[in-house]
Amino acid sequence: MFVLVEMVDTVRIPPWNFQRQLNDAIAEELNKKLANKVVYNVGLCICLYDITKLDDSYIFPGDGASHTKVHFRYVVFHPFLDEILVGKIKYCSQEGVHGKFPFPFPSHETVLHWFHCLITS
């Protein structure tokens, strides 16, 4: 259900964040980019777990920001095939089935969209 996924990305740190610690600035940018987003073939990204490796930072001409290649692990919600999730169905519409699950998400973010649903009685 919840898994750690190793990822690699190039993170852009704007100049006004140069006074902060590099790890803190990178963590903030990664969470802005990935948290509460669905990554294809990975799952719903929850939050940054840790940064495993930082490569050198570069500043490109015409851009005052630094660009750093980062290796990191991210907590991802990825239900497995045939996994059973227990929850309450809130409502059903043409958009899909909306349910409430006992996960530690804020109440306005607990709606999960599924492309294929099998509801049995």
At 115 the pLDDT is 37
d(CA 34, CA 48): 9
Which tens digit of pLDDT belongs to each residue from 75-102?
Answer: 998 887 887 777 788 888 888 777 777 6
Give 48-113 as a DSSP string.
EEEEEEEEEEEE-TT--SEEEEEEEEEEEE-PPTT-----EEEEEETTEEEEE-SSSS-GGG----
Look at residue 104 in the predicted model and tell me its pLDDT.
Answer: 57
Averaged confidence pLDDT in the chain = 83
Task: Supply the CATH classification number for the domain 2-77.
Answer: 3.30.1490.120
Spans of all domains in the chain: 2-77, 84-121
- Is residue 26 over pLDDT 60? yes
Per-residue tokens: 79: 């239900």
pLDDT digits (tens, 9 = 90+) for 38-65: 999 898 899 999 999 999 999 999 999 9
* Amino acid 90: pLDDT: 85
